[in-house]
Amino acid sequence: MNFNVAVIPGDGIGPEVTEQAVLVLEKIGELYNHSFNFTEVLAGGSAYDLKGTPLPQETIDICKNSDAVLLGAVGGPKWDNLPGNLRPEKGLLQIRKELGLYANIRPAVLFDPLKEACPLKPELIEGGFDICVVRELTGGMYFGEKGRKETDMGMAAYDTELYSEPEVDRIVRKAFEIARKRNNKVTNIDKMNVLESSRLWREVVNKTYEEYSDVTLNHLLVDNAAMQLIRDPKQFDVIVTTNMFGDILSDEASMLTGSIGMLPSASLGEGKFGLYEPIHGSAPDIAGQDKANPLATILSTAMMLRFSFDLEKEAKAIEDAVLKVLSEGYRTKDIYSKGTNLVGLKEMGRLVVSFC
Ligand code: NAI
Ligand code: MG
């Protein structure tokens, strides 16, 4: 089959990790007789440098005409002094919104060979864990009204957490649907004891739940959830939460899997189209040094094959190859520990390709 994939390499380690992911997809194409047509487009800081905007119209158009988008990461200190609307991250927020991708699926799975890289005590992770964070992606604080104003106490700034009932309903539905394909268990995370937006959020969760009563639902306040993730990660299966809480909790969950360099994500809306990216940022501290872990991006392509292209066998082949590489002891620096083989980004990519 033929698939059109828009690739946004972005900034920092973005171009390095997407390059490896594309090589893996090309190998899968050869092995299983698919043709992936890649079109590289600009977004983020590099787009600002070349086009004066972090999200050129051409990028939006090409993404909209593709079957899926693969993204590296955007941003870096070079662009830190730009005003908010020109910052690289704005390009990323905007493209998710433009494409209607309101559900960010972030699986945090502990690969058996990486148990020693998990900072928790062995007895807490006995048997591993498999958490699926479903994060709302196009609403909440990151999109609400923001600004600065003079007050009696001097300059002040504000951001607004705003959620509408339909926005909550559609993300919660996604979480329940995903739970039905897994273990029928959802934990909703909010801050309803303090935030009005969370009180509405929880009301909608409970209302929508009436249609999914076959699923087990429980609620946690976000501060408790942050603690529970470390105390007993195995209690979680599907987590549904707001944009900001999901951003923070999934970084926390990533460390339990060994490294932020391991976690893929899928951003979905209605239909099959999706944007796939690692959850990490552009890691300017290690960019251009062949040190970054490409596995999060490579695993993101497995999610692309599964969710957007219905290629389960091919997705599994990538995940199995990653598991094999790890089982044979190969590690990039972020997951390296004594007794394992330290490899660079390119070598890690090459190994995955060879094990596919
Ligand atoms: P970051 O995720 O880029 O890096 C945090 C730490 O993790 C760094 O020490 C980095 O070296 C390490 N790290 C991240 N990915 C890694 C990988 N694949 N392999 C090995 N080590 C890895 O977050 P940070 O430093 O807060 O942000 C850097 C820039 O990235 C900022 O401009 C930020 O706005 C942007 N950013 C972009 C995101 C995106 O494009 N989706 C998401 C998060 C941050
Ligand atoms: Mg983040």
Q: Taking Cα atoms as reference points, which of 23, 110, 133 lies closest to residue 323?
A: 110
Is 281 near ligand 1, meaning CB less than 6 Å away? yes
CA distances from 38 to 67, 123, 335, 345 (A): 11, 44, 30, 21
pLDDT of residue 148: 96
Domain range list for the chain: 1-103+263-356, 119-256
Cα(184)–Cα(212) distance, integer angstroms = 9
The minimum-distance atom of ligand 1 relative to the CA of 278 is: 41
pLDDT of residue 310: 96
Is 296 near ligand 1, meaning CB less than 6 Å away? yes
pLDDT of residue 89: 95
pLDDT of residue 338: 87
The string of pLDDT tens digits covering residues 221-276 is 999 999 999 999 999 999 999 999 999 999 899 889 989 999 999 999 999 999 99
CATH code linked to domain 1-103+263-356 = 3.40.718.10
The minimum-distance atom of ligand 1 relative to the CA of 333 is: 20
Q: From the CA of 238, how far away is ligand 1's center (Å)?
A: 24
User: Which fold does the domain 119-256 belong to in CATH?
Assistant: Isopropylmalate Dehydrogenase (3.40.718)
The minimum-distance atom of ligand 1 relative to the CA of 13 is: 18
Is 280 near ligand 1, meaning CB less than 6 Å away? yes
Classify the C-alpha dihedral 33-34-35-36 as positive or negative: negative
Average pLDDT score over residue span 297-309: 97
The string of pLDDT tens digits covering residues 80-103 is 999 989 999 999 999 998 999 999
350 annotated ligand binder: no
81 annotated ligand binder: yes
The minimum-distance atom of ligand 1 relative to the CA of 297 is: 18
Q: State the distance between the two ends of the chain, measured CA to CA, in whole angstroms.
A: 19
Q: Which of 61, 112, 146, 223 is catalytic?
A: 223
Is 75 near ligand 1, meaning CB less than 6 Å away? yes
pLDDT of residue 47: 97
Q: Which H or E element spans position 239?
A: strand 238-241
Is 261 near ligand 1, meaning CB less than 6 Å away? yes
Q: Tell me: ipTM over 0.90.
A: yes
The string of pLDDT tens digits covering residues 307-356 is 999 999 999 999 999 999 999 999 999 999 888 999 999 999 999 999 99
Classify the C-alpha dihedral 220-221-222-228 as positive or negative: negative
Average pLDDT score over residue span 4-26: 98
The string of pLDDT tens digits covering residues 181-199 is 999 999 999 999 999 999 9
Whole-structure pTM value = 0.93
The string of pLDDT tens digits covering residues 132-171 is 999 999 999 999 999 999 999 999 999 999 999 999 999 9
Annotation says 159 is catalytic: no
Which alpha helices (DSSP H) does the chain contain, by range?
14-32, 45-51, 57-64, 88-98, 165-181, 196-209, 222-231, 243-256, 295-307, 312-327, 345-355
Q: Exposed/middle/buried for 124, CB within 10 Å: 0-12, 13-18, 19+?
A: middle
62 Cβ contact list (under 8 Å, min separation 6): 6, 39, 41
Annotation says 191 is catalytic: yes
Q: What is the mean pLDDT of the chain?
A: 96
Nearest CA to ligand 1 atom 4: 283
Q: Which ligand is nearest to the CA of 281?
A: 1
56 annotated ligand binder: no
- Whether 256 contacts 109, CB under 8 Å: no
* Amino acid identity for residue 39 in this structure: T
pLDDT of residue 92: 92
pLDDT above 70: percentage of residues in the chain:
100
202 annotated ligand binder: no
Q: From the CA of 283, how far away is ligand 1's center (Å)?
A: 4
Annotation says 169 is catalytic: no
From 42, 135, 277, 280, the mutation candidate for ligand 1 (largest count of ligand atoms within 8 A of CB) is 280
pLDDT of residue 63: 97
Asked if the domains 1-103+263-356 and 119-256 are classified in one and the same CATH topology, the answer is yes
Q: How confident is the model at residue 117 (pLDDT cuts 50, 70, 90)?
A: confident
Using the predicted structure, report yes or no on whether residue 116 has a pLDDT greater than 90. no
Distinct helix (H) and strand (E) counts, the chain: 11, 14
Nearest CA to ligand 1 atom 34: 75
Q: From the CA of 243, how far away is ligand 2's center (Å)?
A: 10
Using the predicted structure, report yes or no on whether residue 74 has a pLDDT greater than 90. yes
Q: From the CA of 128, how far away is ligand 1's center (Å)?
A: 25
pLDDT of residue 121: 94
Cα(210)–Cα(206) distance, integer angstroms = 7
Cα radius of gyration rounded to whole Å, the chain: 20
Cα(172)–Cα(180) distance, integer angstroms = 12
104 annotated ligand binder: no
CA distances from 339 to 95, 119, 344, 350, 355 (A): 42, 17, 16, 21, 21
* Amino acid identity for residue 178 in this structure: I
